[in-house]
Structure 1
């Protein structure tokens, strides 16, 4: 599995998974451009970075016009927040999860797909969630938004599989990040998914080795 010569975009590139995926893609031979709202200096030192608000369609289109043709997009940009019971969910909670998880994914898709179709090749790897395979208490907005990402992945894969473009998604469990360890101090993080392991699974789906895979939702859950 290699990414030699591929121009790769990593959205959410300043986060823990984005950093791991950027490093892994570079190690596998890719040229990487990371997108996020802002970047730590160590990320900018590793690869090319561009700041963009991917919840804004016009801004997303502008940044992809600047980037030009792309071989692989890793759609990591998103977010998680615990909610309340369904009957008590506020509009703000619901809209925040759909903006972070659905709008960013849709906007990147709308910005990048036309150039991929014109080139007759490309790969898009989205990020769903293992938790979104069914409803979860006090997480309705999050699981609903990630479920939408999963259905978008399947629909887009059906639309583009005859165009030389692969569209798939990973469904991670809890990722072993500093933020998750701080939020769940009484849980054993050795059972969680390491960012590097999730990055490897995504790089496989973005590589030519996965050219026959369309619309897969791949669980990457560690020992959970």
Structure 2
């Protein structure tokens, strides 16, 4: 049976490239998007054209904890299993200390730290059952903060800490 990977934020850029690469390796792909639905749907169609019934798409707001359990149920319903979770979705924009707002906090922490934590939590039993894995995507700014991007850097550093603590 083909292994299944769920990639959050996989409509474009790194997420889409990761989906294409893993699809070429034989994985079934569950794509995810929030606002980039047309791009995600086009990628899903492209993958299914290459290999029928090998890709599916779920849409959801990762910054809303209340939606994450339902989203993970939708992910599992696509192919009946999950072997790999890739927490790729990420918001990135500046937050100078004197301009930080609650919506900016929720968007940056929600997509970069909170969603990976809760997606990992809700999918843990399935991943253990399949001897699966979780991949959390971070960048250099988790280790070398970027001026004016304090909330983003804090969230990515938190994700690194969560990943290290999960061993």
Structure 1 153/114 Cα, relative in aligned 2: closer, same or farther at 3 Å?
same
Q: 1:81 aligns with which of 65, 80, 93?
A: 93
Structure 1 34/81 Cα, relative in aligned 2: closer, same or farther at 3 Å?
same
Q: Which has the larger helix fraction?
A: 2
Larger Rg: 1
Match of 2:153 in 1: 143
Match of 1:21 in 2: 18
Q: 1:101 aligns with which of 112, 116, 119?
A: 112
Aligned positions, number: 152
Contact 1:71 1:122 in 2 (8 A): yes
Instruction: Give 1:69 shift.
Output: 2.2
Distance 2:145 2:102 in 1: 18
Q: What does 1:30-69 correspond to in 2, within 5 Å?
A: 30-37=27-34, 38-40=37-39, 41-45=41-45, 46=47, 47-55=55-63, 56-67=67-78, 68-69=80-81
Contact 2:62 2:115 in 1 (8 A): yes
Q: What does 1:93-172 correspond to in 2, within 5 Å?
A: 93-119=104-130, 121-156=131-166, 158=167
Distance 2:31 2:102 in 1: 31
Gaps in structure 1 of 5+ consecutive residues = 159-224
User: Per-residue CA shift, 1:88-115, capped at 9, x if unaligned?
Assistant: 4223322221012112211210121111
Bigger mean CA deviation after superposition, 95-104 or 50-59: 50-59
- The TM-score normalised by the length of structure 1 is 0.62
Counterpart of 1:135 in 2: which secondary structure?
Answer: coil
Counterpart of 1:50 in 2: which secondary structure?
Answer: strand
Gaps in structure 2 of 5+ consecutive residues = 48-54
Counterpart of 1:73 in 2: which secondary structure?
Answer: strand
Match of 1:185 in 2: none
Q: Tell me the C-alpha RMSD between the 2 structures.
A: 1.9
Structure 1 153/98 Cα, relative in aligned 2: closer, same or farther at 3 Å?
same
Instruction: Give 1:87 shift.
Output: 4.3
Runs of 4+ with >6 A deviation: none
Counterpart of 1:48 in 2: which secondary structure?
Answer: strand
Distance 1:113 1:76 in 2: 17
Q: 2:82 aligns with which of 56, 62, 70?
A: 70
